Amino acid sequence: MEKLLQGILRFKDNDFEQHRELFEALGRSQNPHTLFIGCSDSRLVPNLITNTLPGELFTVRNIANIVPPYRHTEEYLATTSAIEYAVNVLNVEHIVVCGHSNCGGCKAMLSETDLAGLPHTQKWLELAGNIKETVFAEVPETEKGKREWMAEQLNIVEQLKHLLTYPFIKEKVMRHELSIEGWYYLIETGEVFIYDRTVGEFVLHY
């Protein structure tokens, strides 16, 4: 905790002072251009990898960067409500779904034992669809690393499909008022691969 408290002091003395006018403006309103949907993993830091300032990204983070398919319900839906607010109130121009290498959520998705005693996580990962079956059918059990890599990328593509189940998103995409992209972040190299729909693959962004 002491590390965090010291960080607050350094932020106030350095970063805040450097961007004082920006923070004063943000104190009254926000106008982010992008909804960034990322994994909760501590190694994924959206503003760091995109080199963006406060106020540019409206961020949603959860286990395995999942987007629940759209449905009209009375349940409490944190991710769905954040997406709704970003698109319909903040009028973001872009949505990015960003997964990453060595994702614990995707690894657990492929395992039975990793989810033992984690009923809520297990239920949440059901939203990843049939990724497990696809990976197991295409990659032999001996290649666990390749299985995880494939699951991480297929999961991003699955969530892009889920986004288009939201009527207000599909409408804006069709009118070219909103773009959606899938990113795969390689933690150990800092590289970002962007999903290319024309070839059905993630391509390195230079």
Catalytic residues: 39, 41, 43, 100, 103
The 3-class secondary structure across the chain, one letter per residue, is CHHHHHHHHHHHHHHHHHCHHHHHHHCCCCCCCEEEEEECCCCCCHHHHHCCCCCCEEEEEEHHHCCCCCCCCCCCCHHHHHHHHHHHCCCCCEEEEEEECCCHHHHHHCCCHHHCCCHHHHHHHHHHCCHHHHHHHHCCCCCHHHHHHHHHHHHHHHHHHHHCCCHHHHHHHHCCCCEEEEEEEECCCCEEEEEECCCCEEEECC
Q: How many CA atoms lie less than 13 Å away from 62 in the CB half-sphere?
A: 20
Q: 94-100 and 57-62 as β-strands: parallel, antiparallel, unpaired?
A: unpaired
Residues 95 and 163 sit within 8 Å (Cβ to Cβ)? yes
Q: How far apart are CA 206 and CA 196, in angstroms?
A: 14
